[in-house]
Structures are given as C-alpha cells and as structure tokens.
Chain A
Amino acid sequence: MKETDIQLMFCGSAGDGTIAVGDIFKRAMAKAGYKVIAFDIYPPEIRGFGKCISRVRVTSRQAYSLKQESDVLVSLNDSYAIPHVPEVRDFGSVIYDNAPITSMAEGEHISGHLLPGQLPYGLRIREISDQTTGGSKSKNIVALGYLAGLFGIKPEPFHLIIRDKFKKKDPSIAESNLLAFDTAYTEGASTFRLDFIELGAPERQEIGSKVQMMTGNAAVVRGCLDAGLDCFFGYPITPATSIMERLATELPRRGGRLLQTEDEISAIAATIGAGYAGVRSATATSGPGLALMVEMLGLGVISEVPSVIFCSQRGGPSTGMPTKTEQSDLHLAVYGGAGDAQRIVLAPTNVEGAYRCAGKAFEMAEKYQTPVIVLLDLYLSNRYETVLLPRQNPFEGESSKHRSRVERGIPYSRFAFTEDHVSPRTIPGEEGGIHVITGLEHNEMGRPNDQSDMHNRMSEKRHKKLLAALDHPGITIHKRFGDTGSVDVGILGWGSTVGEILEAMLMAQAEGISCSVMKVVMLSPLPVEPIQHFFSDCREVLIPELNYEGQFANLVASAVSKPFTRFNRVPGVPMQVADILDQIRRLAERAKSSSAA
C-alpha cells in the first residue's frame, strides 16, 4: 500500500480563517482515517491581526513531528505567506489567489516569489467566495475545496466537518460554505496537475468512526478527567490557559470544581489544600507561574501532600516570549524552591504521553505523597495529533485515592518511618488521625523538630520514597528506539523535542548510520541506571534540547562520567530535524574514525 506523507501549510492573517481552515483540514483527514500531526502559530498579540500559520502533516502511520519543508503552501494573505515560500520543497505546490481585488506593485504578489522548482497553482479564490457566499469570508473554504479536488481527496469528510463547524449558525451559512467548497473542489479536480503528491489509502477508513485528535493540553484535560480530578485551581497564562478553559466546562459536568484564583500562589496553595483535604487536585501554569509557585511547592514536599502541577513551558526568563516554545523550565521544575525539595517531574514527549502522564500523575502524587510536576511546552500543548486512546479508561479502578491507614488503638504518626518510606496518610476529620502539619521540619508526629538526626532521617525519607516511582507501573519512564545493542550514535531526549529526534534518527538510519534514541519521561527522580546503560551502548551521545544551557544535559552529567555532546538551541520554535541530523552525521563520522584509530 502506498504510504501517505504530505504536509500542508496554510498562511494568512488573523481574520482570514487560517487556523480554522487548518482545523477543518486536519479533522477531515483524521476522519478519513489518516494520522495527523499539526501545529498552529498565532500572532503574538492577545487579539491581533498578525500572521497565522497552520501546519498539518498527514501520514498513513503516526509521524513523530512536523517536517521542516512543506509539500503545499496555501496563501490566504500574500504578504504573510511570501516569507514562508522557501519552506516549500522542490516540486512542491503553492496555492494562491490569482484574481485579487486591488492593484499591487511588483513583488507584492506571491507568484513572483516562487522558487524555480516550485509549482504555481493560481485560483480565483476571492471571486469564487464572492459568487458562492456573497462575500470574501469563505476564501479559506474555497482554498480548501480546491486543494481537496486537486489532490483527489474525497469530499465527504470535509462536508461533515464543515457542517459541524457551522452547526450553531444559520443553516444557510453551512450551505453556502458547502457550495463554496464544492465549486472550488470541481476546479481543483479539473486542474492539470504538475505536482507528484499522492495520497495512499488511509489505514482505517470508517467515516464517522470515533477518531481521537487532540492537542497536548486537551490530552492533559482528558487525562485529568479520566483520573477523576476533583478540583482545579488556576490562573490564566499562555500556553497553559486552554487547560483551565476546557476544564471550566468539562469539570463541573462531572461534579468537580474549578476556581480561577487571584494569582498563581493562591492556585498552588488551594491545590495543596485540596490535596490535604483528600481530593484529587491540580493546577496548570507556565514558567513564570511556576516560579511563583515554588515556595508553596516546598510546603507540599515537606508536608507530604499530594498535588499535581502542569507546567507548559514558553520562552523565558520572566515574561520572555509568551507565544514561543522552549524547554528551559527544567531546572526550575526539578530543583526550584528552598531546601532539598525532591518531587516527581514527568515530561511527556507527545500528545498520547500527555494523556498518560496527566492520568498517572494523580496516582503517583497520592502514592508517594508528593507534588508531581508534569512539564509540557507550548509546542506540545498546542500541537494536534491523532491518538489512539484505550476504549477502557486506564486510570479507573487502579486509583490509589486516599485509603485510611489509621489503625485503631495504635497512636497515629503521620510521618512515621516505614520500609518504603511512605507514611500512613490521613485526611482531616478522620477518627484517630489527629496530627500536626507544618512547613517546619518535624518529627514523625508532625511536631516541629530541628534536631540534626531528625532532619537527616526525614530528608532521606522524602528522597528515598520517590525512588520507587522509577518502577511505577503503567507509565513509560524511559524508552529506547531504533537500533539495539551497540551503536555509533545515541541520542538522549526529553519532552516535545523527542519527536524531531526520532524523525532525525529514522533519516540517519536510512543513511546507514547505526543509532538509537532514548527518551526520558521521568526527569525527577532520574532513571540513572538505564541512562548509564544507554551510554555504555553508544560510542557517541547527543543531547538536543531547546534551552541555552543544556538543562537536561546538566542532569545527565551528574549521573554519567562519559563525555557527550550537547546541542542547545533557543529559536522559540521546534528544533529542526535537519539540524539534529547534521549533528548525528558529524558524531557518526567521529565514532567511525575513533573506532578505526
């Protein structure tokens, strides 16, 4: 069967329906049974009229990341799309309006910017929109119809999604948009094609089947709900806000509570408070918010109260780059706060992982009585993927929701030293469970105690109880991909960058380079042994990450003695697959020459 792998880029200004058309396209393709990965870029202004880009990659098998070069660019606004023309591959296509309404000076029309190897597809986009809908608002739908017709993609899934999109509006709006789509579809289907784009049949073809396509943040919400989240407290911040927005509608429907607090400090305080009261609670923020939360986080650590904090990273420090992606809150998440404040930090690498980490975070928080930080980033929070979520809720039943460990007749010690370093937890009001809880160092009863021996033992307890999390069932802590056994190049990755790393690995393998990838999902505690084992298998190790210092590399450096290569970039956008591939090639050469020497 022919493999499908095409990437489209819609580019226009806010108001052109760029993101909306990208959304219809990816939903239709997912409905048709293709795998989708997509990422939208909005203008930096909160409500601006800047540039919007929607990139959608459609494949037969789930891809790990977007491609560097798109196969098709659809321009809904030439001045915004022109700078992106070089991102279209040779013999790729550019679709644009060739009957614009106003005159323009040389260079203002996109056709003048196509590279010699690219293929022009001009269409009367605005005119068709006018004729079919009586206005130019449906230019995006016209472009969509044209490209669907051009590439021979069946129209039915588009019809369904367009109807759905406009279902809350006057029925005439859906009808005129369907007419716009169909008119352009016919034009596309009758256009003489010069490109070599071919779509194979999708793997599953049942139209109307329940295809799960969601963003990383939507997956977090889904994970929270499936895990039985009771309370959410939050303060809006890009790129985490959509978690709260979704929960605001979904959580109350399931009997949960959501409160928008006055700031991040209150949000985490309330989250820990709710955790203390014995309900599943969470908050979501970004780096600047997490920076405000760390003091309270320390309280969660020392008082051993479960809580879950989602942190979607963006460019920093301070307000930094709110609409750009980065992986630079790792130090803050792992180490942030006063004292030895060990906690669990999970960093999912894709949308499905975001779902699993979100769901498991609650169980882990409760089992190990600790704050759990789930670290995402803007790229993962906002990107869409088709995911195959299990039909059966995987977080149901195995819940470790509070179960009283108070035994009648025996004096209760909230912080008792135990074999697994986890003490019996009780919630306020439980009979026999009276105890003191404080931010001060304490003894087993919870009473303030600053004796050196007690502090030593409590520090050890708080540290060691987390080590069991490295074997926590039902969650991927780390995973190796690619070649097995000894390899020339190993790439160690974390977070969303793992997608680009895996794509680069596949390309390197296709070039005959022996290489493999290890992704690390649990950043704290760090799975030291598997990492050391991976190092011993690799002649060269590369650690690519989106921060300036190499924050993950710093963590790894403390665990291994062997030298490795850091690859740190802070472009504000996802790492380029080609850049990682270049590094792999360079290291493969070095591995070859050192083994020959």
Chain B
Amino acid sequence: MGSTQHYVIIGNGVAGNEAAYHLRQRDPESRITIITAGRLLFYSRYELPRVFHENCDWRDFLVHPVEYYANNRINVRRNSFVTHVDAHRKTLSLAHKEEIQYSQLLVASGGASYLPAELDEFAPLLNHFNLYSAACKVRDILPKQGKVVMLGGDVLGLDLARNLVNDGYKVVLVATEHTFWPHRVESDERALFLGALRDMGVEVIEGVKIELIEQGAAGMSARHILFDDGREIFADVVMPFLGLLPAADFMMGSGVDFERGLLVSTNLRTTDQNIWAAGDVCQIWSPEENQYRFYYGWKNVKKMGEIAAKNMTGEDIHWETATDQKLYIDKNRQLVSPYWEHD
C-alpha cells in the first residue's frame, strides 16, 4: 500500500479508533480521517457513571492524550454528520455539504438507542446516557437520592443502575423483553437475575406496559408514569435502555447490502470492494449459524477494528465467532456481565 491511500473511518468509538491505530502502524504514509457526529475526541463511555461521584470533566474520559492525534497524524473530524455514501464515486457527504473522497472506507458508526414506536411520543421526556453530554444532563437534573426509572434495562442500563444504587439513588426497573440485552437469557435464569437485581437494591416492576409519561406537576417530581395496570410512579428521570439499533441510515442507497446492520463477510468487507464495517453497526456472516449476526461489547468491537484495519491493508484475517458472553451470578451473589469488565 502506498502513501496515496486515504482511509476514512465513520465513527469515533472503540472500533473506529482501534482501526485507525492499526492502519497507522501498517501504512505510515497514508492519510487517516475519522469522522464523527460528536464534538469530543475518543472517550471512554463505559466510565460515564463517574460523572456522578467525581469532580471531573470530559478531559478525564479521553482515551488518548490530545497529542496522540497529531503524533499519529489521525485527523478527527468532529461535529461532522455523514448523510450519504456514494460507493461508486468513493465519496461521502457531510451534513454541512462537504464531500470527502476516500480510497477505503470503514463504517464503524455503532448503534443508537432503540426506542419502540409506542414510546415515540414520550421521547422529549426521556433521558439517555449514551454520550458525555447526556450523562452530564442526567447528573444535573437528578437530585441527591433522587429516583430513576429505567425502561427495559440492557447491560448498559444495568451497569448504570448498580452505580446509581451504590451512590444512594433509587432505581426502578421496568422489566421488558430487552432487559439484559444483548445477553440471551433463558426463562428460568430470568427470575434468578431479576432477583439478584432486587437484592442489589433495584426495585423491579414486571408485566406492565406504559400508558403515559408526563411532566410532573409543579413542585412534584419531574416525571409521572402511568402503567396499564393503573399503577403510577413519580420519578426525577426516565431513561430507556432497550438495546441498540445500528446507526447506518447514511448507507441507504449506497449500493451496499444492508439488513438491520451492514452485512459483512468474515473478513469484515461489505458487498463493496472498498467499504468495510466493524463494531455495533455490522452483522457478520456466521458460517456455523448460517446467518448474519451482531456481536457487541468493547472486546468484540475492538477486535473487529483491528481485523478490518489489517484486511484493509492487505491481510486476510477472519472473524472467529466468539462464544456468547453469559450473564451470571458470582460467589458474592452479585449479578455480573462480562461486558462490564474494562481494559
């Protein structure tokens, strides 16, 4: 590979940054551009619960020091939203109408929080925890010992829940089919795990549907939630944790095969020669299961970033199907997800 290559990576998460690192190692002369809708450099989202109990700012979450990018000549284009990819012309368009030419493109745009249609109308009253800014907002509006209602409770949510409980907040979990996502939980395990959550101090509500979420009356808690069985809860913050949907709308019309995520073969190449995908956005072909599959969690997506970068620079490495990461209860009777182990 020569110095004329321009590797463009859409996504500033684990997959994108791991790929950028390996691309630089393997092709020192090339241009590397990471494009991200966010305004920050790569930071550790797994550590966001720290916003509650430390006097910290976003600089404390950065994975690399600022100099890393200049030293490695990795240009991070922040606040730049990709709207379209033209595989034929090898260009992508940004929302601010700039067009970028690539030699090889890696799509590592991750996933966005999933919100089912029936909750759509309540979206303005919901808070998220997927970004630094969102986390700070929750911190700022949540009073000391305040109450949080979690809808669903995927592993990201449960991670936050245990942190909140430890910090003295009240957490109410409205269990749904998305609880424990992306773990596959058998029905007999489910009761056990929910019990572990209760032991942890989380109040669990099961078998209900949400009828209404509304602004609390003046002087009352900020949110009022009404369930279909007539129960109601007052809370300070309501957060959906219902799993992720691949964030790849901009690939529509690009000519690249797409199901729920971008379809890639085991070498992480899409159906276009020059477009690759890694991380939460892609579905990898599993020869064993004879279908395309998602693999989540930082360990998996980091590996994908590495494989994609190596293959983009001439190697032929294949994704080996990881065994499912199982949720379990440890000897201290604590619920544990392997996703919660960090570097």
Contacts and interface: CB of A to CB of B under 8 A. Distances in A.
A99 interface: yes
Given A116-B76, A192-B136, A100 B97 contact: yes
B69 A103 contact: no
Contacts of B136: 192
A120 B98 contact: no
Contact of B101 (A91, A102, A106, A120): A106
Interface string A102-128: 111110110110111101111000000
B201 to A, nearest CB: 31
A103 B99 contact: yes
B79 interface: yes
A99 B97 CA distance: 8
A457 B67 CA distance: 71
Interface in B27-80: 39-41, 57-59, 66-70, 75-80
| B interface, size bucket | 20 to 34
B66 A104 contact: no
Contact of A99 (B40, B66, B80, B96): B96
A111 B96 contact: yes
B101 A111 contact: no
A106 B41 contact: no
A194 interface: yes
A127 to B, nearest CB: 12
Given A105-B98, A192-B133, A90 B66 contact: yes
A117 B70 CA distance: 10
Interface string A160-173: 00000000000000
B70 A115 contact: yes
A121 B79 CA distance: 8
Contacts of A196: 57
A112 B133 contact: no
A226 B136 CA distance: 56
Contacts of A116: 41, 66-70, 76
Nearest to A103: B97
A100 B66 contact: no
A98 interface: yes
Interface in A108-152: 108-109, 111-112, 114-117, 119-122
Contacts of B123: none
Contacts of A111: 77-80, 96, 98
A194 B131 CA distance: 13
| Most chain B beta-carbon contacts within 10 A, residue among A112, A115, A194 | A112
B78 A120 contact: yes
Contact of A100 (B76, B96, B133): B96
B96 A109 contact: yes
Interface in A447-463: none
Contacts of B39: 119-121, 194
B208 interface: no
Interface in B133-163: 133, 136-137
Contacts of B100: 106
B100 to A, nearest CB: 5
A550 to B, nearest CB: 37
Nearest to A122: B79
Nearest to B6: A106
Contacts of B99: 103-106
A422 to B, nearest CB: 66
A519 B66 CA distance: 40
B205 interface: no
Interface in B147-204: none
B198 to A, nearest CB: 35
Interface in B83-141: 94-101, 133, 136-137
A190 to B, nearest CB: 11
Contacts of B133: 192
Contacts of A122: 79, 96
Nearest to A105: B99
Contacts of A99: 95-96
B40 A98 contact: no
| Most chain B beta-carbon contacts within 10 A, residue among A98, A106, A119, A192 | A106
A198 to B, nearest CB: 13
A104 B98 contact: yes
Contacts of A104: 97-99
Nearest to A97: B96
Given A116-B66, A120-B78, A108 B98 contact: yes
Interface string A176-203: 0000000000000000101010000000
A570 to B, nearest CB: 31
Contacts of A102: 97
Interface string A414-452: 000000000000000000000000000000000000000
Contacts of B76: 116
A117 B66 contact: yes
B66 A120 contact: no
Nearest to A110: B96
Contact of B77 (A103, A112, A121): A112
Contacts of A121: 39, 79
A45 B324 CA distance: 69
Nearest to B75: A112
Contact of B98 (A106, A115, A117, A119): A106
Contacts of A112: 75, 77, 80, 98
A104 B94 CA distance: 10
A192 B131 CA distance: 11
B307 to A, nearest CB: 26
Given A97-B96, A111-B98, 7 more contacts: A106-B99, A112-B98, A115-B70, A116-B70, A116-B76, A117-B66, A120-B39
5 contacts: A100-B97, A112-B98, A116-B69, A122-B96, A194-B39
**10 shortest A-B CB distances, which residue pairs?**
A120-B79, A116-B69, A192-B133, A117-B66, A103-B97, A109-B98, A98-B96, A106-B100, A116-B66, A122-B79
